[in-house]
Amino acid sequence: MHTRLSAKMVLGNHRSLVFFWVVLFCLCLEFGTAIDTITPSELVKDPETLSSNNGLFTLGFFSPKNSTNRYVGIWYLSDSNILWVANRNQPLKFNSSGIVTISRDGNLVVLNSENNTIWSSYVTYIASNSTAQLSDTGNLVLLDGNTGEVMWESFKHPTNVYIPNMKLSRNRITGEEVSFTSWKSTSDPSIGYFSCSLERLSAPELFLWVNGTQPYYRSGPWNGEIFIGFRPLTTGYLKGCNVSDEDDGTVYFSCDSTDQYDFRTVALSPEGLFETASWKNKKKISSDVFHGTNCNQYGVCGAFGSCDWQTSPVCSCLSGYQPKNLEEWNKKNWTSGCVRKVPLQCGSGEVRRDGFLKLEKMKVPDYLQKSASLENECTAQCLQNCSCVAYAYDTGIGCMSWFGDLIDTQKFSDGGLDLYIRIPPSELEKHSGKRTVIIAVAVSTIGVITLAICAYLSWKWTTKPTARKRKRDAIFWFNRDESTAVDRNGKKIGEQSEVELHEQLLFDTETLALATNNFDSSNKLGQGGFGPVYKGKLKDGREIAIKRLSKASGQGLEEFMNEVVVISKLQHRNLVRLLGCCREGEEKMLIYEYMLNKSLDTFIFGPPEHKLLDWGKRFSIIEGIARGLLYLHRDSRLRIIHRDLKASNILLDEDLNPKISDFGLAKIFGGRGDEANTSRVVGTYGYMAPEYAMEGIVSEKSDVFSFGVLVLEIVSGRKNTSFYNNEQFRSLVRFVWKVWNEDNIVSTIDQSICEPVNEKDIVRCVHIGLLCVQESARHRPNMATVISMLNSEIVNLPSPRQPAYIEKPDICNSLSSEECHPSHSNNIVSITDIQGR
């Protein structure tokens, strides 16, 4: 009896154990399906999250930086990589607990703490037992509970980020589109000012819009591999992308992941810039911002105008055309465009026929009409139609023709297409005549060059050893304390410790002594921490400025060599030009082009000179400095941070054009990185960005901060340092911020330029200056955006945040008394004012 009872008990225990495991297994299954799924009985409540099956994507609640509002979003790996936002225009307040669930009508909804719907998928016909699932591609889909059909998906309602497998689209029949729109600011995901969509469906292009109606940028048509209006630098990011045309009339643009990356994104920033990021093995391996040139703005040069960012001015009329409004054109207001000088002959009965002029490496105009004709048929096809004004050909597109105004034409340095514009016979003859002259000159030149080469080889054979020794002396040796930099193509720069200069860049002390009357004090232009600067005149009549390294200076050798390396590789109309250098024994000198009007500080701070700069000249100076910085940061072969931008380092030529000078402290930036750390903090107090002065973090935004201070100085006519003895303000930045918040900004404007007609533009510049000196580097605009702001391409400026106050007393607390001292730069020279230990 006892044995049987025990057997029953054992059997009962086994049944209980089996039942337990079955229940646990079912619970695990239910839990497993709930990892990436929301059902009518399951919800996600702040701060809970929902993860995709592969664990890469998360749906949850987040707050943007510097905001307490709560939003429902999808992110990749961490909530610093937000891909999509549900309630972007209806945030949850900080103390309001949000819920994501399936509503009674089957829609995916976000509810606040009062159970009010603040966002919904708004599907009209759907089963009440629908489910939402976060897929392994990052797409949030709403599935009909009865059929499993996808009724709604986040990929068709993007916010500001494009990711692989998402499709930008437009239906040519219904007009229905999938596009994405920028955030209003980095702390506000609501709908911003910029949007990106697919347009011109016969030859699809990507368009960037301002306020949804005004074209801001276009990519040029797709040719099966790239958008042909992209600059060559950006075309590599189109690998894995394609444009397809479906039977229902929908045109799609989509990109797949590639072997090079596991995941990549393209975000549209609040400033209208494309920001890319890529990950490999769950690590971010690259990030970049596509800073356009000032030619990127749609139609900046008007009808029949062409833009070339490497020339000044950037706009010119196409051959055979002239400015429609010459007065406005000369003021750099090019919107009225150009008109023909001479009418076309087509249809006039003239015997002589129109012809075509070939323009190479062009971004083709907007509003093209294409045909499947062969390349050799394009010319005849255009000539047969008197309304045809230009044509081009691409193997992936075919013949492209234009029948109206040529809008948004741009000259590239590389890439682009050959554009053939129609011109009358008289214009065609002018260009034919030019070609004849060019050929004759070329033949003559070849003969002269041949003789010159022979003479040179003869001289080289008989040259004395001292000449060869002088050439060997052209190699300068020094060690850089910074890490090796690379140029934009990934080529290493500065990895060797020698700098080789051409002989024509080398001057001897005898020549320079003769040019300055033995460095007579009457020729002295100024004095700085580096040493004195002299005016000189060479035998050929050229006037020069000579910066002479002081023998008593404890600093300067590295700055001297750094400036030789940096500025010898740069060329821009807003950068001072290095003519050469001299290093003989203990003498170290740099030779520059002479600037007749000396430096900017002489004009804006010194009466009566400041009255010579009216607002038009001051704005032109601000714009020129901005273009020079953009060249250093983005457009030069090297990527350079100046680190000592201030009024005394801006020289003015005879036409008062600004030239950025003094590259002794400049840093060559490596690769595609955005910032770097340095243990050697150098610069001028009052102009140094806080993250640089306090933490040694240097980036483009360091120069942007200095530029902002400089803008405020130019507008006010007051030095930033002139407030140091004022206990209330202590800096110009503090003072401007106070009157800005009091809506009394006019009180800061230099009275010599404060006229009602200029007031609006001046206040806008103050606004831009304050945006540049914001405390957080990521809130400051880059120089490309600054130029767009200055040119009013960006109409609505964001509100400035609290500026940074990095002033002499703040920095001196952490430095010794010997390290904290101002340098006195009267004219061209400035060197380290503060150097951290």
Contact status, residue 291 vs residue 802, Cβ threshold 8 Å: no
Cα dihedral 73→75→79→80 (10° resolution): -120
Amino acid 663: pLDDT: 80
Give all domains of the chain, ordered by start, each with its CATH number.
Answer: 36-154 (2.90.10.10), 158-292 (2.90.10), 309-431 (no CATH), 485-593 (3.30.200.20), 600-835 (1.10.510.10)
Amino acid 469: pLDDT: 40
**Which of 804, 811, 781, 819 shows the shortest CA–CA distance to 186?**
781
Amino acid 720: pLDDT: 84
Number of Cβ within 10 Å of residue 41's Cβ equals 9
Helical (H) or strand (E) element with 558: helix 557-567
Which tokens in the block code for residue 761? 């533009």
Q: What are phi and psi of 30, to 5 degrees?
A: -65, -40
Helical (H) or strand (E) element with 209: strand 205-210
Which tokens in the block code for residue 331? 């003021």
Which tokens in the block code for residue 119? 């966002």
Amino acid 398: pLDDT: 92
Contact status, residue 50 vs residue 35, Cβ threshold 8 Å: yes
Amino acid 125: pLDDT: 80
Contact status, residue 416 vs residue 362, Cβ threshold 8 Å: yes
Helical (H) or strand (E) element with 407: none
User: For residue 447, with 0-12 CB atoms within 10 Å meaning exposed, 13-18 middle and 19 or more buried, which class applies?
Assistant: exposed
Amino acid 497: pLDDT: 37
Q: Splitting the chain (837 residues) into consecutive groups of 10 residues, what average pLDDT does each group show? A: 41 48 44 70 93 96 93 95 97 88 94 94 87 96 91 97 95 92 95 95 94 92 90 64 90 86 92 91 86 85 93 92 94 93 80 88 94 84 92 94 95 91 87 48 56 63 45 38 40 42 70 91 79 88 86 58 72 86 82 88 77 89 94 80 90 91 76 54 79 85 95 92 61 91 90 88 95 90 89 81 63 37 34 32
pLDDT in tens, 422-442: 999 888 877 664 444 444 444
Query: What is the rounded CA–CA span in Å between residue 630 and residue 310?
Result: 12
CA 829, 665, 544, 520 dihedral sign is positive
Amino acid 754: pLDDT: 85
> Under the phi-then-psi rule, with left for phi > 0, alpha for psi from -120 to 50, and beta for the rest, what region is 178?
beta
Residue-by-residue DSSP string for 314-368: SEEEPTTEEESSHHHHHTT--TT-EEESS---TTTT-SS--EEEEEEEEEPPSS-
Amino acid 374: pLDDT: 83
Distance of CA 96 to the CA centre of its chain: 38
Query: What is the rounded CA–CA span in Å between residue 670 and residue 676?
Result: 9
Which tokens in the block code for residue 742? 């009091």
Q: Coil, helix or strand for 794?
A: coil
Beta bridge partners, 252, equal 169, 244
Contact status, residue 193 vs residue 211, Cβ threshold 8 Å: yes
Report, as residue numbers or ranges, the catalytic residues. 644
Number of Cβ within 10 Å of residue 225's Cβ equals 13
Number of Cβ within 10 Å of residue 8's Cβ equals 9
User: For residue 584, with 0-12 CB atoms within 10 Å meaning exposed, 13-18 middle and 19 or more buried, which class applies?
Assistant: middle
Q: What is the 3-state secondary structure (H, E, C) of 443-464?
A: HHHHHHHHHHHHHHHHHHHHCC
* Residue 772 identity (one-letter amino acid): C
User: For residue 114, with 0-12 CB atoms within 10 Å meaning exposed, 13-18 middle and 19 or more buried, which class applies?
Assistant: exposed
Amino acid 462: pLDDT: 54
Verify cis geometry, omega within 30 degrees of 0, for the bond prior to 215: no
Residue-by-residue DSSP string for 638-705: SEEE-S---GGGEEE-TT--EEE---TT-EEEPTT-SEEE-S--EE-TTTS-HHHHHH-EEEHHHHHH
Beta bridge partners, 120, equal 109
